[in-house]
């Protein structure tokens, strides 16, 4: 049983390392990917630390004792930073954010006398910690770590409060996964923090075993959603759009009116058409129309407008061979040929001139 528990805790370290590498291996990296990687590396280090104690490596190799504690103080700040990155699309790192590293630096300074002990003194001090835990420096440091991290977790929960609604839980799979994952980590930290007051090793082992299950669950989610597991931003934006959209707007009715304007009235032929003019004709604000298009049609106003304009450009390129591609672009509201060419290529894969040369069959 002892060996099985040791191996299970070690498995948590291996899975954590794998998740960190997966975050760093994403092709389109976001700042949150690096935070995810740091979080999983630190949790993996904590798994290794508990495994070291279980396997008596810390007593045989005293230099390994307590090296993980300062890093453990970074868990809460990193979770809070992650919440900032998720909720604030244009979040930028600034020098004053380094203040969140002060708990970790403080823990390192407090533990410095312990790190400077000789191998034999470290072994003796660590043995005392395991056998007579109450009142030791380790107890105080660990309890403080738990409290600091819990405070940061509460701040992160408040920062992401719009995610924790029944509507978000029902509509967004990523939010459901995040909630389950967050609750699992909160349980782990709560168990560790409470247990550190009495019997650290027993409670920490139980928490790390539970944490291993959480890491395995995260790995399964990663396999099911490899492209979106580390990228919560789109889900957050969708939730923000839904919350900002006035409840009195009839989705089906507005969709129908938009289609009528563009397909029947061919409003896109107006070269000066913009978001504000379109919104005015629909009796909604520009902000509401932009949100509506992003939420319900999955594209911004410019992309939506270009689809109709490029379709018309394709028709005109074949129907009016005497009119240059540049002139057609100007007629449809494109300010210059470069803009027209880029939009045309994005939707057809070729330039307007190449499309015209291909003939009507294209």
Q: 317 and 197 in one domain?
A: no
CA distance 326 to 323: 8
Listed as ranges, residues in the chain with pLDDT below 50 are 362
Nearest to 278 by CA among 258, 303, 297, 259: 258
Are the beta carbons of 181 and 217 closer than 8 angstroms? Answer: yes
Answer yes or no: is 239 within a domain: no
Nearest to 107 by CA among 141, 62, 153, 67: 141
Q: 251 and 227 in one domain?
A: no
Q: What own/partner pairs with CB < 8 Å and gap ≥ 24 does 268-276 have? A: 268/305, 268/308, 268/309, 268/312, 268/332, 268/333, 269/312, 269/332, 270/333, 271/330, 271/331, 271/332, 271/333, 272/333, 273/305, 273/333, 275/301
Residue 362: per-residue pLDDT: 44
Q: 337 and 227 in one domain?
A: no
| Domain edge (last residue) among 231, 258, 278 | 231
Q: 176 and 284 in one domain?
A: no
Q: 272 and 322 in one domain?
A: yes
Answer yes or no: is 106 within a domain: yes
Burial category of 57 from C-beta neighbours within 10 Å (exposed 0-12, middle 13-18, buried 19 and up): middle
Are the beta carbons of 290 and 301 closer than 8 angstroms? Answer: yes
Answer yes or no: is 53 within a domain: yes
Q: 219 and 164 in one domain?
A: yes
CATH number at residue 353: 1.10.10.60
Q: 225 and 250 in one domain?
A: no
Answer yes or no: is 223 within a domain: yes
Q: 218 and 78 in one domain?
A: yes
Q: 257 and 198 in one domain?
A: no
Please say whether the dihedral angle defined by the alpha carbons of residues 274, 234, 346 and 362, taken in this order, is positive or negative.
negative
pTM of the model: 0.63
Answer yes or no: is 236 within a domain: no
Q: 204 and 254 in one domain?
A: no
Answer yes or no: is 261 within a domain: yes
Q: 162 and 25 in one domain?
A: yes
CA dihedral 158, 160, 165, 168 (to 10 degrees): 180
Q: 219 and 168 in one domain?
A: yes
Answer yes or no: is 46 within a domain: yes
| Domain edge (last residue) among 208, 231, 254 | 231
Total count of domains within the chain: 2
Nearest to 39 by CA among 80, 99, 6, 97: 80
Q: Buried (b) or exposed (e) across 64-100, using 16+ Cβ within 10 A? A: bbbbbbbbbbbbbbbbbbbbbbbbeeeeeeeeeeeeb
CA distance 220 to 209: 17
Full residue range of the structural domain in which residue 277 is found = 245-358
Residue 143: per-residue pLDDT: 72
């Amino acid at each position: 049983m002892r060996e099985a528990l040791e191996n299970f805790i070690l498995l948590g370290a291996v899975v954590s390392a794998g998740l960190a590498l997966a975050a760093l291996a994403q092709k389109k990296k976001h700042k949150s990917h690096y935070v995810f990687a740091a979080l999983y590396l630190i949790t993996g280090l904590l798994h290794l630390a508990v495994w070291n104690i279980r396997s008596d490596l810390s007593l045989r190799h005293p230099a390994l004792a307590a090296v993980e504690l300062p890093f453990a103080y970074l868990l809460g700040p990193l979770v809070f930073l992650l919440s900032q990155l998720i909720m604030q699309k244009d979040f930028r790192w600034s020098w004053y954010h380094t203040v969140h590293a002060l708990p970790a630096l403080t823990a390192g300074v407090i533990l410095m006398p312990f790190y400077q002990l000789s191998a034999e003194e470290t072994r003796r001090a660590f043995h005392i910690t395991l056998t007579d835990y109450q009142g030791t420096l380790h107890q105080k440091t660990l309890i403080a770590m738990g409290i600091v991290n819990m405070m940061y977790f509460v701040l992160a929960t408040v920062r992401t409060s719009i995610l924790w609604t029944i509507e978000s839980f029902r509509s967004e799979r990523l939010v459901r996964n995040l909630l389950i994952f967050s609750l699992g980590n909160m349980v782990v930290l709560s168990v560790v923090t409470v247990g550190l007051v009495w019997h650290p090793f027993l409670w920490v082992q139980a928490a790390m075993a539970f944490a291993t299950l959480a890491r395995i669950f995260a790995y399964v989610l990663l396999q099911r959603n490899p492209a979106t597991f580390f990228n919560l931003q789109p889900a957050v934006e969708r939730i923000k759009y839904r919350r900002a959209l006035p409840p009195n707007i009839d989705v089906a009715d507005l969709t129908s009116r938009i289609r009528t304007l563009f397909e029947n009235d061919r409003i896109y032929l107006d070269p000066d058409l913009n978001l504000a003019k379109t919104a005015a004709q629909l009796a909604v604000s520009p902000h509401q129309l932009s949100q509506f298009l992003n939420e319900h049609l999955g594209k911004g106003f410019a992309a939506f407008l270009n689809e109709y304009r490029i379709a018309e450009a394709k028709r005109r390129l074949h129907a009016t061979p005497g009119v240059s591609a540049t002139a057609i672009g100007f007629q449809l509201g494109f300010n210059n040929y470069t803009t027209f060419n880029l939009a045309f290529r994005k939707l057809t894969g070729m330039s307007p001139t190449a499309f015209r040369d291909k003939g009507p069959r294209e």
